[in-house]
A and B are shown apart, each in its own frame.
Chain A
Amino acid sequence: MPGTEPETLLAQATSGDCAAFIQIYDRLAPQVLGVIQRVLADFEASERALEDVFVKLWGEAPQLVRARVSVAAWLMLAARAYAVERLRQRAGGSSSWPLHQEESGFLDQSLAWMPDAQAIGLLDDRRALLRKVLGQLPRPQLRSLELVVFEGRAETELAGDLGEPLARVKTELRAAARFLRHRRRAVVGSWTVDI
């Protein structure tokens, strides 16, 4: 069933339709692996993590279907969280990072705020415009944001990495988040917005 939405396929998978689950994999695995690889920069480790994320999707499927969340959003956010956790373990750090992700039920709690398929569909439809917006983010803000997203740096660590006061780092990160939020609202709100 080419073109069937991942949410429909996941619902089919909960009743034992493995072919439906594999369709989700075929459609979304490259994007998910891209995210993991960006974090881990190790192809073999990234593929192992990809396996884990999809196996986890299988395990979580009934809850995700009930909550009507976007499968793509769950996969991408779970993959990023999982990859950062692996990165931190690899670094041997005793960071508190996983506390709110795996250990404290990040993914369970995420069902309360995970976007639905309609919201994610709007973003997918406007991907080109949104990519253009990212290019408008001031370089220092983008760099700081990327360090948090892809290297799992916390604000305090980032201040040390960049040799900047924590207050400035916080301000920059929040400014980046605010910019993205406002621009995303504009882009998904109108096709004709002048970006």
Chain B
Amino acid sequence: MDCRYLEDAYEIYLLGGLERAQQEELHEHVRQGCAYCRHELREAAENLYWLLQNVAPVRPSAAIKGRILQRLSSSTILGTGSRKTNRPPKKAQARRG
């Protein structure tokens, strides 16, 4: 893969917006450890952060924080984190008594 060809495509790749074949090709290429592409992707990620940072903030309901804490303390955590068990933090356990 000629990385120079991808110069302006990194942002679109991170957004999942490339044509499928190109998306898959770049995905595999990066997975194999291309240092140049990783550097370019880091810059692209900064660009995307910049775009997202410009969105107006929205205040969540007060209840959301409690719901998150409850989920952290349960065994039904979603996500793909490597922690096999998601035991609640000690302080959260202590607060719930």
- Interface residues, chain A, with chain B CB atoms under 8 Å away: 13, 16-19, 21-22, 25-26, 29-31, 33-35, 37-38, 43, 46-47, 50-52, 54-56, 58-63, 70, 72-73, 76-77, 79-81, 84, 96-102, 104-105, 107-110, 112-115, 119-120, 123-124, 127, 130-131, 134, 145, 148-149, 152-156, 158, 173-175, 177-178, 180-181, 184
Candidates A38, A59, A149, A174; contact of B8 at CB < 8 Å: A174
Chain B residues close to A by CB (< 8 Å): 7-20, 23-24, 27, 30-31, 38-39, 41-61, 64-65, 67-69, 71-72, 77-83, 86, 88-92, 95
Evaluate contact between B41 and A154: CB separation under 8 angstroms. Answer: no
Which of A46, A52, A97 lies in contact with B58, CB distance below 8 A? Answer: A46
- Contact (Cβ within 8 A) A120 B46: yes
Known contacts A17-B91, A34-B58; is-contact A60 B12 (Cβ 8 Å): no
Is the beta-carbon distance between B54 and A131 smaller than 8 angstroms? yes
Do residues A62 and B82 form an inter-chain contact, with CB atoms below 8 A? yes
Q: Once the chains are docked, how many angstroms separate the CA of A33 from the CA of B68?
A: 14
User: In the complex, A46→B58 CA distance in Å?
Assistant: 10
A34 touching B68, Cβ below 8 Å? no
**With a CB–CB cut-off of 8 A, which chain B residues contact A72?**
49
**Which residues in A have their C-beta under 8 angstroms from that of B27?**
100, 104, 109
